[in-house]
Amino acid sequence: MLERFNTTQWLDKLQLEEFPEPDTVRLKHPVLLCHGYGAIASLVKPSPLYDVAMLLRTHNITAFAPNIVPYAKIETRAESWVHLLSRLTEGESFEKVNIIAHSMGGLDIRYALAKLDIAPKVASLTTVCTPHHGTSLAELTLKTPEAIRDKLADFLDWMGDRIYPHTKSDSVASAAQLTRRYITEEFNPVIADVPDIPYYSYSSAVGKGTSHPIKVMGRYQNNHIYEQEGINDGMVSVQSSKWGNHIETVNLSHLEQMHVRIKNDREAAFQDFWLNVIQMLEEKGH
């Protein structure tokens, strides 16, 4: 029995790293994390991107992940982000922030930059799996039989109003703004990028068309988007996620990017991704 025991391999695991602490990342400006559409993550943590903010703080980044209304039109959400941005820059005496926006949050901030004069307070915008060209998943949702759609909308608005009572939720109107027609024909033509603000983007692909897994509950949406738009993260396609300087395509589902329903063997991929994002910002001088 003892002869079979690999003492060398066991003892190797006990070796101490010289510097076991997380890598230190030095940014010139703090990070504001802006979440997207929906309230799933908010039911299990203080805010959808709370875990991301806590991870960034372990790397010496001053990061904030506040909440806004989960279901509302881009214009309404953008105004909420502007209010919170003002509180950070004025209350905390930050000259500027680096904004990292997930999903619909990226559309909110693009609108705020173009229409709400926040550019002087923004050092950079990085979007993560934002539907810059819309998503066929929103179209699928809106095609649900009216009776079912209305009941679902009533429930989502009721839940949104309970978890964030400061602003009235409107799940149907906000979903309509995520369709490919709305984004490509109405939003993008009038929401121009602001000169001198760097726009970076990340996309992600899992499930069909890739060698990376997606949970059973997300396979229907993943397959639907694949047939319509190609490889995707279960909610937004790679092609739709690209905007400005596209950095790379990673392999985390839309929920995994927020640290929701992530398995232990995927934890390292989650941590590596977000470390890569802030290291990119450091390399770019932000």
- Per domain, the residue ranges of the chain are 24-185+197-280
The residue written with tokens 């990119």 in the block is: 280
Q: Is 22 exposed, middle or buried (0-12, 13-18, 19+ CB in 10 A)?
A: middle
Output the pLDDT for position 21.
79
Taking the CB of residue 150, how many other CB atoms lie within 10 A of it? 12
pLDDT of residue 283: 97
pLDDT of residue 10: 66
Helix (H, G, I), strand (E, B) or coil at 127: strand
Residue 153, classed as helix, strand or coil, is helix
DSSP character at residue 237: B
Nearest-5° Cα angle at 247, 246 to 253: 95
Which residue from 8, 68, 72, 6 is spatially nearest to 32, judged by alpha carbons?
Answer: 68
Alpha carbon of 271 to those of 52, 60, 257, 258: distances in Å?
9, 14, 9, 11
Residue 10 to residue 243: CA distance in whole angstroms: 47
Note the pLDDT of residue 163: 73
Record the pTM.
Answer: 0.91
Full pLDDT tens readout for the chain, 286 residues = 445 656 666 667 677 777 777 888 999 999 999 999 886 777 778 899 999 999 999 999 999 999 999 889 999 999 999 999 999 988 888 899 999 999 999 999 999 999 999 999 999 999 999 999 999 999 988 887 677 777 777 777 677 777 778 888 778 889 899 999 999 999 999 999 999 999 999 999 999 999 998 988 889 999 999 999 999 999 999 999 999 999 999 999 999 999 987 777 889 999 999 999 999 999 999 9
What pLDDT does 210 receive? 96
Which tokens is 280 given? 């990119």
Q: How far is CA 138 from the centre of its chain?
A: 17
pLDDT on residue 206: 96
Q: Which residues contact 82 (CB under 8 A, 6 or more apart)?
A: 112, 116, 118
End-to-end Cα, the chain, rounded Å: 57
- Which of helix, strand or coil describes residue 167? coil
Looking at domain 24-185+197-280, its CATH architecture is 3-Layer(aba) Sandwich (3.40)
Q: What is the pLDDT of residue 167?
A: 81
CA gap 89, 95 in Å, rounded: 6
d(CA 240, CA 211): 20
